[in-house]
Structure formats: C-alpha cells, structure tokens
A = this chain, B = another copy of it.
Amino acid sequence: MTRGFYIGRFQPYHEGHHAMVERIASEVDELVLGIGSADQSHTARNPFTAGERIEMLTKATTDIGVVTYAVPIEDLNRNAVWVSHVRSMSPRFDVAYSNNPLVVRLFEEAGVEVRQSPMFRREEFEGAEVRERMAEGDDWEELVPEAVADTIADINGVDRLREVIDSDT
C-alpha cells in the first residue's frame, strides 16, 4: 500500500489541483490532501475557511478512485519545523507531491521523497486567477470543478471575497 501526500491552500480547489490529484491517484493507493494555512480565512489570498475547503475537496474528489483524507494544516510560521508538523497531523505517507520549490526543499532536507510534475506551478497561478475573476465578475466557474462552484455559491463566497478585498485596498 502506497500513500501520497499533496499540499495546497486550495483557495479554492480548482482544475489545476484536480489535474494534479488525478495524476497522483494513478500512482498511489491512498492520498492525503493537506490543506495549508488552515487557520487563515476571510482575506484576499485566503478567503475560505478550512472547513469550507474540506467540503470542496471532499465533494470534488468523490470519484477519484483512491481513498482520500482532507487534513487541515495550520501555519506555525517556522519553516524549520514545518515537515515535522505536517507529519504529526497527517496519516503516515510514503511520498510527497508538490510543485512549490520551498515545499520541495523542506521535504528533501527532511529526507522525504518528493515528486514534481511537468505542469510546473499551474495550480498556483490558477488560484490567483480564480480569485481575480471572482473579484472582477468574470467567469471563474469554468476553472473549478462543479462541486466547488456549488459550495462557493452555498456560502455566498464571491460576495465575501469582494468585501475582504475591499478592506485591503
């Protein structure tokens, strides 16, 4: 049995994440989705709570074909202990997946196997894109799985994002 670990902030979970999850699912038996910055919400960069993100992830990965766990990971703001923190919060895993250079570096310094993908950072840029489209009133739904769009509608997420952005400027 192989268990993989994939971390993101999932603000929100979008097609870039989903493509990555599908690729990982073909390599592992079980997958832990670590929800980073779990303590942050109601900001321009992190509009949704960890609980809301668990809902998005869970619904969007129902048919992924492997057992998945959605695990919130709060920020400790100390990179040097981050891998230990992740490991203590997550079911044990054999391999980590990430396209973020810092995450890759931290796992490697800790002796954890990390796999990267050719679609370098697509998920990262796409997160900012989704939030910008929400703010601007453009079509963001096409960038996320349908179940995610439904959850965001349920919680009135677009209005929230616009209001918190408005406070930052």
Residues of A within 8 A of B (CB): 38-43, 49-52, 54-55, 58, 69-72, 74, 76-81, 83-85, 87-92, 100-106, 109-110, 160, 163-164, 166-167
Contacts and interface: CB of A to CB of B under 8 A. Distances in A.
Contacts of A42: 79-80, 102, 105-106
Contacts of A83: 84
A17 to B, nearest CB: 17
B55 A91 contact: yes
A91 B51 contact: yes
Number of copies of this chain in the oligomer? 6
A87 B92 CA distance: 22
B91 A85 contact: no
Contact of A84 (B81, B91, B163): B81
Contact of A80 (B49, B69, B163): B49
A142 B81 CA distance: 32
A61 B84 CA distance: 27
Nearest to A102: B167
A81 B79 contact: no
A43 to B, nearest CB: 7
Contact of A41 (B41, B71, B80): B80
Nearest to A78: B39
A41 B167 contact: no
8 closest pairs, A vs B, by CB? A80-B88, A42-B79, A102-B167, A81-B81, A81-B84, A84-B84, A101-B166, A49-B88
